[in-house]
Every structure is written in structure tokens, then in C-alpha cells.
Amino acid sequence: MSIATFKKAIQQDEYVTIGGGEPTLHPKFWEMIGLSLGHAEGIWLATNGSVTDTALALAHMAKRGIIGCALSQDPWHDPIDGKVIQAFTTGGPTYNTRENNVDGREIRNADTMPGPIQAGRCDWGSNENSCVCDDLIVKPSGIVKGCGCDDAPVFGNINDGYPDLPENYVVGECWKYNEECAT
């Protein structure tokens, strides 16, 4: 995603979620964090911890409540440096480990996450209306989709101005299970 598209996307909501692949590999990652800190009320992202120094910095920021950050531990990623795992460890369970409103660290482990983890599908989670995302998604090209599912409807492009959403669109519900929106 270009910085110009990112700036337009973060103007649309007070909460910013930075996804990936691995977002820390973006050449402008720290610039995006800085822009988000200057705009958003809340910032959340996930990392696979592959860039050790960056992951340690993110864990420190999350521990202080500056951002929310999850370390993804699953069989699809390379092994994670033990220092990174320790930095993200809060002493709680390995899923949704926010123990208070300040510490924004968590470890997400595929074995303890609810439901099947199948990227691009709306059957993630334990609720039939759940999706891996809970809001609109702005893709790197600027396309605005109803959720992160591969076949979610496209509502427009952020680079052309924020699109008007259908009246029956319900933020936070997977579009596929919202019968009014899906028809």
C-alpha cells in the first residue's frame, strides 16, 4: 500500500488495524505507525516476529499501551526468536491475553484460536456471523471491501473518495451471513 492510500484509509476511522502478510516488512512500516499514532485513537497489528528488533519494539509499545499487537505463533511461520516470545508473554492464556486496558500484547496460537483458521473464508470463529475481520478492509490498491473474505463485495476505491455503503450494510458482521446485505 502506498503512503498516499494509507493516509486516506486512516482518515476514515478512529481505529487502525494494520494487516499483512507481515506488515513489518513494508519499507514504510514505521512511517505508517507514526501516521497512525498521529491520527488514530487505537492501533492494532499482528506480526509473525520475523524481524526480531522490530518485534521487540512493538512488544514494548504494546506493553505500554501505545498500540495493540499480537504475535502469531502457528505451524505456517518460521520459528520465532525466544526473546520475541518472551517480550510478548503476559502470563495469561495464549489467545486474547489482554489482562488489563494498558497491556496490549497478545500471543495468538493456532491451537488455541476459536474455529478453523482459513484465510479468505467467512467461517473463521465460533459465531456463524464472524469473520477474521470486523470492519471494512482497504486493500493495498485502495479497494474497499465488506470484509477480508476473498469474495466479499467491493464498495469502491478509497483513492476515489470514501464510498457510500449500502444502507443495509452492517459493520462487524461478515457480509456473507448478512442476508439483507448479501442479496
pLDDT digits (tens, 9 = 90+) for 120-160: 444 444 444 455 566 778 888 999 887 777 777 788 899 99
pLDDT at 119: 45
pLDDT at 137: 83
pLDDT at 131: 57
The side-by-side arrangement of strands in the sheet containing 143-145 is: 137-138, 143-145, 154-157
pLDDT at 27: 96
pLDDT at 134: 60
Following DSSP, what letter does each residue of 117-160 receive, concatenated?
A: --TT-S--SSSTT--S-SS-EE-TTSEEESSSSTTPPEEEEGGG
pLDDT at 28: 97
**How far are the Cα atoms of 23, 141, 156 from residue 159, in angstroms, in the given order?**
21, 9, 9
Q: Give the mean pLDDT per block of 10 residues along the chain (183 residues).
A: 94 86 94 93 92 96 91 83 91 41 80 49 45 73 82 85 76 53 42
pLDDT at 179: 45
Whole-angstrom distance, CA of residue 29 vs CA of residue 105: 19
pLDDT at 170: 67
Q: What pTM did the predictor assign?
A: 0.75
pLDDT at 112: 55
Which one-letter DSSP state was computed for residue 14? S
Single-letter residue type at 17: T
pLDDT at 71: 93
Are 154 and 143 a contacting pair, CB within 8 Å? Answer: yes
